Structure 1
Amino acid sequence: MDLDVGRAHGARIYDYILGGKDNYGPDRAAGEESLEVWPALRIHMQANRTFMHRAARFLAAECGIRQFLDIGTGIPTAPNLHEVVQAVAPDSRVVYVDNDPVVLAHARALMSSTREGRTDYIHGDMRDPEAILAAPQLRQTLDLNRPIGLMLIAMLHFIEDDDEALRVARHVIDILPPGSYFAATIATDDFAPEPLAKVRDLYHSHGETLRWRTKAQAEQFFEGLELEEPGLVQMHKWRPDPIHIGKIDDADIAMYGAVGRKP
């Protein structure tokens, strides 16, 4: 499988800024230039990671979800989703999806399940939800007749067309059975528009997409779902750990986050 290291890739930029080693020159260049124009980017990305941990733990511990579909998992960074939910319920089952060959190369780390549970990996593109849902790995690991926790964490901004982004998310949500949940973080420039315009332009100049959306646009992804408290908020304000309350500046966070239940 071809590994295009001549252009930046969102997952590898994310990996670089969080201190990972699975990145290349264009990823590091895009990351450094972005940090120069918006130094809060590292804080923002760390907050995105911890949102995923809190949302996953909430779904496993408080909602009883035992099946998860994580589309756009990114390069493995402990604790991964299965480690979070299997710490709550060892029998949890997780299917990861990503289109980056670097993630595929590390997929073994994503499949180190507990004995009681199971994990699997699909090399697929979120723009083709039909192929993801038809993949044998998904059908062998998840029961589509039982509630599933769908995770789209820091992914929708890589689809610039608003209608396509909605179609992709809603296609998967519509397939899920009642009682399922949808957790997502959605990029916005509502709180720091000037530096984030520069970040967007830098991503574009390195060949990567980036689309900011307003709160009203973010809400569209959750239409028809019952939002869990506190609703759609900046992601660091969604059920924060007490030790983090008041320690993150709103201007340093460029994503909304929410969890919705399918009735």
Structure 2
Amino acid sequence: MEQQDTGLDTPARIDTGKPHPARMYDWFLGGKDNYPADEELGRQLVGFAPDIPVMARMNRAFMHRATRWVAGQGVRQFLDIGTGIPTEPNLHQVAQEIAPDARVVYCDNDPIVLAHSEALLRGTSEGGVDYVQADARDTAAILEHARRTLDFDRPIALSLIALLHFISNEDGAYELVEHLKEALAPGSYLIISHLTPDFHPEEASRKVTDLYKAGGLTMDMRSRERFARFFEGLEPVAPGIVAAEDWHPELGEPVPGQEDVRSGAYVAVARKN
């Protein structure tokens, strides 16, 4: 397996006093790579909405299914922004199971993800895996680094899983997606999952948003119409915009406990022609 130089030899400082979405997600999934601040906010959220850990697993299961589907369409390059702490199987493991020569670039802004990037860099001998620490809004730096591993003249699957609801319109959520879309070659795919208020009572969605904001985090759970805007100019893949659990469930195994749970997330995959 070819590995690129990340250029990240100097360890970044981990702010353990403030919750971080990647570490909270790890806590929801039962991981150990989180801190008291992450667990505290996580417990507050689960205390109000006990299904959140199941919803997190449903979201991750969508990522696995979408990766399998896109790899099945012949795509051999993946750019995953908002990677999170490694939880097997990781995206490259799913992709390389179908296509051993698949090349994957991961990106996250949390130093603890970098600390575990060695697990993300273990792939097949035929493929390539790289990792860059960068903020999702710094698309220029992400694209510059990704070009060391990925050929942007060929199709790429751009994966933004459970990321964009942490970025407000004012912080450029739509602009960063447009910038990334513009860099993709025809035949590329955009894969997004995103929390929405549409599946739950308005009061409950407002409470979750307020809890995140109280923890110092942005939370913008977008409606279907606002979610669809991310895919402007692309051709939707069937079944279009649906709840996470409804996107090609035949491509994966059901998540334990999901039978009576709504994921609370819209998902979609679309193609650039």
**Shared topology, TM-score over 0.5?**
yes
Question: Identity rate of aligned residues, in percent?
Answer: 49
Deviation at 1:162, TM superposition (A): 5.9
Match of 2:49 in 1: 38
- Residue of structure 2 aligned with 1:212, choices 215, 221, 225: 221
TM-fit CA distance, 1:148? 0.3
Alignment CA distance shift 1:203-1:163 (3 Å): closer
Change (3 A) 1:90 1:6: same
Structure 2 matches for 1:113-132, cutoff 5 A?
113-132=123-142
Could you tell me which amino acid in structure 2 is paired with residue 100 of structure 1? D
Code of the residue aligned with 1:211 in structure 2: it is D
1:187 offset after TM fit, Å? 1.4
**How many residues are matched?**
259
Partner of 1:12: 23
Aligned residue number for residue 38 of structure 2: 27
| Rounded Cα–Cα distance in structure 2 between residues aligned with 1:247 and 1:45 | 10
**Structure 1 unmatched ranges of 5 or more:** none
* One-letter amino acid of the structure 1 residue matched with residue 163 of structure 2: M
1:151 alignment partner in structure 2: 159
Match of 1:53 in 2: 64
Q: TM-score, normalised by structure 1?
A: 0.95
> Deviation at 1:243?
5.9
Tell me how large the CA RMSD over aligned residues is: 1.6
Q: Does 1:240 align with 2:249?
A: yes
Q: Under a length normalisation based on structure 2, what TM-score does the superposition of the two structures give?
A: 0.91
Matching of residue 260 in structure 1 with residue 273 in structure 2: no
Match of 2:6 in 1: none
Cα displacement string for residues 136-177 of structure 1 (whole angstroms, at most 9, x for unaligned residues): xx2221011100000000000111226711101110011100
Query: Matched residue of 2:18: which SS?
Result: coil
- Sort the Cα spacing of 1:163 and 1:227 in 2 relative to 1 into closer, same or farther, 3 A: farther
How far apart are 1:207 and its partner, in Å? 1.1
- Structure 2 Cα separation of the partners of residues 85 and 177 of structure 1: 19
Letter in 2 for 1:159: I
* Whole-angstrom CA distance in 1 between matches of 2:253 and 2:136: 34
Q: Which runs of 4 or more aligned residues in structure 1 lie more than 4 Å from their structure 2 counterparts after TM superposition?
A: none
1:75 equivalent to 2:78? Answer no
Give the aligned partner of residue 207 of structure 2.
198
Match for residue 103 of structure 1? Answer: 113
Q: Aligned partners of 1:15 and 1:200: how far apart in 2?
A: 19
